[in-house]
Each structure stands twice: as C-alpha cells, then as structure tokens.
Amino acid sequence: MLTQNFWSKQSTREGLSGYAFMLPTIVVLGIFLILPIIYTIILAFHRVQVLGEVSYRFNGLKNFVRMADDDRIWIALQNTAEYVAIVVPIQTILALGLALILNTNIKGKSWFRVAFFLPTVTSSAVLTLIFMWIYNTNGLLNHFLSLFGFSAYNWLGDPDVALKGIMIMNIWATAPLFMVIYLAALQDIPESLYEAAAIDGATPWEKFWCITLPFLKPVTFFVIVMGIIGTFQLFDQSYIFSGGSGGPNNATLTIVLLIYQYAFKNLQMGYALALTLVLALIIMSVTLIQRIFFKEESLD
Amino acid sequence: MTAACRSSRQTEATIDLTLSGWQSNPAESRLLEKVILQFEKKYPNINVKHEVINSQYMDVIRTRLIGDVAPDVFYLEAFEAPTLMKYGVLEPLNSYITPEYNLKDFEPSLLNAFKQNNQIYGIPKDFSTLALFYNQTAFNQAKIRRPPQTWDELIQVSKKLTIDHNKDRKIDQFGIGIAPELARQSFMVKAFGGALTQNNQAAFATPESLKGLQLVVNQYREGTAAQPSDVGANSNSEAFGQGRIAMAIEGAWAIPYLKETFPNLKFAIAEMPTINNRKGTMAYTVGYVMNRNSKHKQAAWKLIEYLTNEAGMKTWADQGFALPSRRSVLIDLGYDSNPLYAPLVAGSKYATIWQAGEILPTILTNFDNQFISALLGQQSLSLAMKKAQDTANREIYLSN
C-alpha cells in the first residue's frame, strides 16, 4: 500500500516536472496556436462586427451556407486547384531532376548548388517585383519570345496568362528548396546497392527506377505534401501581381487572397474565418488522401 | 479662477497627437511638415507625430481602428467615408467648428461627401477632377488643331493619333489611354442617365449605363485605345509621359508628376469632351477626420483647424498635386486662371463626387472584374455588367 502510494507519487512528480519543462512551449503554443484555432472555430459561426462597436451574433451555419452561393469562391477554388495541379508535379519533377544532376560528379558542383538555391532564399516580394519587370509588355520575356517570332503577350493584364505567369515564377523559386531536400536524401542511398546492381548488369535507367526512386519515396511524400500546402496557401505573389484585387477578371484570385479581402477589405470576419476553416479542411483531406495512397504503395 | 488653473495645467502636460496620411510626393510631405512645425510653435504643449502610410492605407487604418490604436487625425478618401461614418468611429465635428473658421468657404459638394444626417465628420483638404490631357507634339504632327469637344470627336481624333511609326505591326502610339476601373468610368455610367446605385443596391446594368460604357469598350476593341499594361506602363500618366498614348484622362496629381518625370513633354489640358451633349467628369476628394476614440479631441481639432484654415491651406496647397477645397484659397493661388489647372477647376461645377454609400467597395470589385473581361472581348458588355450587378447585390444582401 505504502510502496504503491510512493510509486504513484513519484510518477506524478515525474509527470509534473515533465510538464514544468514543457510549460514555456505549452504556454506559447497555447496562446499563439491553439487559442486562435479555437477562437476561429467559434467565430466562424458568428456574424462579427469589429469596427466601431464590437459585436458578435450567433448565426449558425449561415456563413457556410453563403459559400455555396458565392461565385468568387468557386473561381478562387478553381484557380487554386489549377495552380496546385500544375505547380506541384512540375516543381517536384524539376527538383528531382536538378538533384540527380547535381548528385553526379559534374564540374562546379557547389557553384551550381548555390546558384540554384539563391531564388529560394530571396524574399518572395522581391522576386515578384523582379518578375513583374520581366513580364512587362516591353519586358525581357516578350523580347525573348519575339526573337522566335512570337507575338507579345500582356502577361500582367490578360486573364488567360496572368496565373500562368505566377506559376512559372513560383516553380522557379520553390523547386530549388525541394532540390536540396532530394539531394540530401540521394546521398543517404548506400553506394553498395548501386554496385550490386551494376554487377547484376543493371542499366542506369533500371538503377534509377528500382533503387533511387523507391528510396526517395518518403522524401517525395514530404515534398509533395509541403508543395501542396504551400501552393494552396498562395497569397503574396498574387497579391502583389494584382495589387490585392485578384484581377484581371479574377484570374489571380486565390482562396487566401479571397479570405484576406473578406476579412480586411469588407470586414466580414465571421465569413472570412468560415472560409479559413474550409481551406484547412481541404488541405487536411488532400494530405490524408496522399497518405493512404503512399501507404498502399509501400505495402506492395 | 478655475479656467486659469486648467489652462496652466494644460501647458505643463504635453499632448502627443498622431497624424496619419499617405504621401504622393516627397515635396508635399516636406510642406506638410513645415506647417506642422508652425503649428507646434503656436501650441507648444502639442506634439504632432506625422506618420506616412503609403501602401494599403485603408487596410492599415481599419485594422488600427479595430485595435483601438488609430491615429487621432487621419486622411480619408471620400469613397471610404460612408463606411466609417456608419460604424461610428469618426468624431462629429459640428460642435468644434466656430463661425471664424468660415465653413461656407468650402466647396459644398466636397463638404457633403463627409456629411451624414447633418453631422460633419471630416474637413475636405483638397480635391481634383478629371480632365483631358493631350500631347501637343502628337496633335501637331497629326494636324489636329484643337482638343476634341465631344466624345464622337474624341473617337475620330483617336483614330488619327493611333500610329505605327516603324511599320512593325506593333502600334507605337495609341489615341487614348483607358483605365478600366469604376473609379475612372463611373461618369460614363452617368453620361446617358444611368446610375451606379439605387436604393442601396447596385444598379449599373441598365441600358442607359451600358450606352456610355459601350463607347469605351468599342473604342478599345477598335484598337485606338490602350490600357497601361498594354504598353508596359504602370499608369496612364506614365504611358502618356512616354508618348505611348496621345491623350489621357487624368487629374491634378498628374501635372507635377509629368513636369518632373518628363520635362520635355509638351502637353496641355482641356475640359472633358461632352457626351450626349452633357458635360461630366469625376471629382475625388480627401478629408481630415478625427478618431472618435482620440484622447485629445480638442487638440486634434486645433490641428485640423490649423491645417485647413485659409493660411494653413495656402501654405501646402500651392504644389499643385490637388486643388484646395477652400474657394478663397483656390482663387488666391490662381488655380482658376492657370491654363493647366483651369479645366480641372471648371470641371468641379459639373463633376460627380466619387462616392456611393458604404456598398461602393463591393460594387467596385465586381465591376472592375467583369468590365475588364468585356473590354478584352471575352463576353458582351451587357452580360458582364449583369453578372457584376447580380454578384454585387447578392454579396450586399448576404452581408446584411
């Protein structure tokens, strides 16, 4: 009885000291992460007036019902989905390709690594401004295209190409980050496997297909998940491109930009928060689907 | 006795005031600083902190108003005023205004932009209308003797002014620049008797409004007009300065910009051509408003008064970025007889103020989005405007 009591006491003490050590983190995460999430969920079911006299009025599912009727959400979702569907595969493949090239013993390897990585460490606002110069009707890109006899595009003003302009820029800027991750993973693959495969007479292509790719699977999962989350949250580039309007003709309107407009331009906090929840749900479900997909493959 | 006590205490404690605004030009800011220094000399116990917010001004101000850290006095554009007046975050100024302040001197339409239920919430600091800027060199080369008087003439002249100098099938100079924004096009909505709003709802898809807007769309489709991005410029004034467009519809702010950035440009300004035999243009005004939660309202009013009384306005309004809102100052500084500014001053008689209640921001987003697709020929103007109006009205309905 006594010993048992003592034992349990020690465990509580251990537990307590454990929590005491974690306290700073728990407080910081609680205040800046958990609390806002709870607050978001609660306020998403309210009509919130923040300017002047602050007032909250419970309005049930009205914020969510409203979404079905909101054309701009569908446009934003469509834009975002198109953006994700094009950017994620291309940037992943590009990152893998670059990593494979830089993993071989080419001359000036470290120079290339730095050069490729530079766009990633540059601020995205600066990159966007540089690209806006490149995309200018009299800019570098149109000049380059005209050398091959293409006509000039109004990259910034034409709804058909504005989003593609942002895609190109983002692929160029994020692929190197994932390249570095791939590069690190490539160096973890034991050299002996390749040697054994070479003895068995495997071609380089077979080596890549049967050794490199399977080994990179966990990294690929990570790269795709991070890529999808990042692209779903596209905001700053389209914000700067369109001056915050999502134009021309809603072509660069993304979900996060729409949330920003509702929250800070129209001051409809409740609705904006409801949209935030929906975006979180979308990202979560996409990630879950991928998890299932990747797990099944690894069982084979 | 008590009054003396109070006044002596006031001189001891210094009051810190914040004045927020944007800056269109460093020279303008320097002048304002000068007036503020004079103010601080006159009222030694008031210390003014002048803060410049240049990007996303209204987002910053709104967020600060919500967080209760807004400046005591700040600039406010007329078209944003109805929302702030409705939510009661601005201090009504009626009780502060004395007869010596001479409120009657202000252009009434400008003052009305900051009025709601007979309460004055802001003092207009300056304004500008739109007028037709034209490149004299281009006009001489095309042998056009005078600026177009009617919109039909403008379309004819634009055709003559659209030139491909080096015959590479890329047009080097367009007739006129178009800003496909409601802020610049709403006088076209009104030209044939249309209206932006009716009963607090968007109502710009009527046949009358379409008639005016169709003129703009047709001209763009014909290729004698260009948007700034078509010619690789950021704004119509830049495109005009670079000679890529021969005419532009701009306001007073463009004059110092053009003179400074393009000193060799020879340009003149005319009143807006008549449409449907009627004169029409837009007027934009900015006012000083006081935060209702300001802790030093008396001092804040003293600042507003100092900046907008005749002497104060005269000091900083002679730079020509905008026209002073006091008639006496306008005349004293000779704007009405200056050939560049006279057309802009004349426009103030028939201009409509850029304002349409608190639903304007919603209307604006939807109009801009659909109008550009009509301009690019992706859909007919009537369909685009119908869509914009319906979406705007649904948003207005759902947000209430």
Q: Residue B97 to residues B15, B110, B119: CA-CA distances in angstroms?
A: 21, 17, 11
Q: Which helix (H) or strand (E) holds A41?
A: helix A35-43
Paired tokens of A164: 């593609």
The count of other CB atoms within 10 Å of the CB of residue A196 is: 12
Residues of chain A with C-beta less than 8 angstroms from the C-beta of B232: 136-139
> Which chain A residues touch B63 with a CB distance below 8 Å?
264
**A153: closest CA among A254, A248, A257?**
A248
Q: What percent of chain B has pLDDT over 70?
A: 97
- Quick one: which of B318, B311, B330, B317 has its CA closest to B101? B311
Query: How crowded is the C-beta side of A69, counted as CA atoms within 13 Å?
Result: 16
Structure tokens at A136: 């200018």
The Cα A170–Cα A175 span in angstroms is 8
Distance separating alpha carbons of residues A24 and A81, to the nearest angstrom:
39
Query: For A189-209, what is the mean pLDDT?
Result: 89
B372 touching A (Cβ < 8 Å): yes
Would you state the pLDDT for residue B164? 87
Q: Measure CB to CB from residue A69 to each of B232, B378, B398 and give the nearest one.
A: B398
A122-172 pLDDT, tens digit per residue, is 888 888 888 888 888 888 888 888 888 777 777 877 888 888 988 998 898
DSSP code of A148?
A: T
pLDDT score of A7 more than 70: no
Q: Is there a contact between B253 and B22 (Cβ–Cβ < 8 Å)?
A: no
Per-residue model confidence as pLDDT tens digits over B150-178:
999 999 999 999 998 877 778 889 999 99
Burial code of B59-72, b = ≥16 C-beta within 10 A, e = fewer?
A: bbbbbbbbeeebbb
Facing residue for B89 by CB, picked from A51, A247, A250: A51
Across the interface, which of B372, B391, B399 has its CB nearest the CB of A71?
B391
Greater pLDDT, B76 or A6: B76
| Inter-chain residue contact B88 with A53, CB threshold 8 Å | yes
d(CA B165, CA B180): 26
CATH classification of A69-299, choosing from 1.10.1200.10, 1.10.3720.10, 1.10.8.50, 3.20.20.30?
Answer: 1.10.3720.10
**B250-296 residue pLDDT tens:** 999 999 889 989 999 999 999 999 998 999 999 999 999 999 999 99
Residue B150 and residue B275 in contact, taking contact as beta carbons nearer than 8 Å: yes
pLDDT tens for A76-109 read 999 999 999 999 999 999 999 999 988 887 888 8
Partnered with residue A25 across adjacent β-strands are none
Confirm or reject contact between B227 and chain A (CB < 8 A): yes
Å between B281 CA and nearest CA of chain A: 25
Cross-chain Cβ contact B368/A247 below 8 Å = yes
Is there a contact between B105 and B326 (Cβ–Cβ < 8 Å)? yes
Task: Compare CB distances from B373 to A138, A246, A249 and report the shortest one's residue.
Answer: A249
Asked whether the beta carbons of B74 and B49 are under 8 A apart, the reply is: no
Concatenated DSSP letters of A189-248: S-HHHHHHHHHTT--HHHHIIIIIHHHTHHHHHHHHHHHHHHHHT--HHHHHHHTTS--S
* Beta strand extents in A27-139 (DSSP E only): 46-49, 55-58
Residues in B closer than 8 angstroms to A157, CB to CB, are 227, 229-230, 372
Which amino acid would we find at residue B134?
Answer: Y
Query: HSE (CB half, 13 Å, CA atoms) of A198?
Result: 5
Rg of chain A, C-alpha, whole Å: 25
Domain boundaries along the sequence of chain A: 69-299
C-alpha A154/C-alpha A142 separation (Å) is 9
The pair of structure tokens assigned to A85 is 């569907």
Amino acid at A288: L
SS3 B123: strand
Structure token pair of residue B21: 């605004």
Count Cβ atoms below 10 Å from residue A209 Cβ, excluding itself: 12
3-state secondary structure of B386: helix
Determine the pLDDT at residue A4: 61
**Cβ–Cβ of B89/A266 closer than 8 Å?**
no
Residues 6+ apart with CB under 8 A from B272: B130, B131, B132, B187, B249, B279, B280, B281, B347
DSSP string, B363-374: HHHHHHHHHHHH
B10-127+283-353 adopts what CATH topology? D-Maltodextrin-Binding Protein; domain 2 (3.40.190)
Residue B366: pLDDT band with limits 50, 70, 90? confident
Tell me which residue has tokens 């302009």: A165
Rounded Cα distance, B363 and B344, in Å: 27
CATH annotation of B131-178+227-271: 3.40.190.10
B362 chain-A contacts, CB cut-off 8 A: 266
Taking CA atoms, what residue in B is nearest to A135? B232
